[in-house]
Amino acid sequence: MVGLTLGVFDFCHEGHLNLLRRAAGMCDRLVVGVHTDEEVRRYKGVQPANSELERAAAIRALGIAHAVVVSSDRARLCRDHGVKLVFHGDDWDPAAYRRRWGEERIARLGLELVLLPHTRDRQHAAAGR
């Protein structure tokens, strides 16, 4: 079974590593989508510190994912790679995450959303975030 997780992955940290390792252990093939710089600016309102190509290279260098793709097109990633499982940290409300993906798209593509335990980033925890 093919799984997918998407993220910005700017300054890859312990939480990212835990998510990727857990997701890889739950599927036969893990695809990681790295959001484009444009999508990050639109969604988060900031320019990532590292370019999309640098962020993808950092994830690729971990050797956890079978494929690392720079893309924010969820449906295309799922179609192109035969994705059936979508992984995300459980720090998101499942209903909100499903709305972000689109209920109809989830049903049409036959996807299952799998929420994995969120690892609180020590740097953010120390800063009170």
One-character DSSP codes across the chain? -EEEEEE--TT--HHHHHHHHHHHHTSSEEEEEEPPHHHHHHHHSS--SS-HHHHHHHHHHHT--SEEEE---HHHHHHHHTEEEEEEETTS-HHHHHHHH-HHHHHHHT-EEEEEPPPPPHHHHHTT-
Indicate whether 58 pLDDT > 80.
yes
- Count up the domains in the chain and report the number: 1
What pLDDT, on the 0 to 100 scale, is given for residue 122?
Answer: 52
pTM of the predicted model as reported, rounded to 2 decimal places: 0.86
- CA-CA distance, 121 to 32, in Å (whole number)? 20
Domain that holds residue 112: 2-126
Q: Could you report the per-residue pLDDT of 1-18, keeping only the tens digit for each?
A: 999 999 999 988 899 999
Q: pLDDT for 64-84, tens place per residue?
A: 999 999 998 999 999 999 999
Instruction: Say what the pLDDT of residue 121 is.
Output: 59
We report the CATH number of the domain holding residue 87 as 3.40.50.620
Question: CA-CA distance, 79 to 59, in Å (whole number)?
Answer: 22
What confidence tier does 98 reach under pLDDT thresholds 50, 70, 90?
Answer: confident
Q: Is the pLDDT higher at 118 or at 53?
A: 53
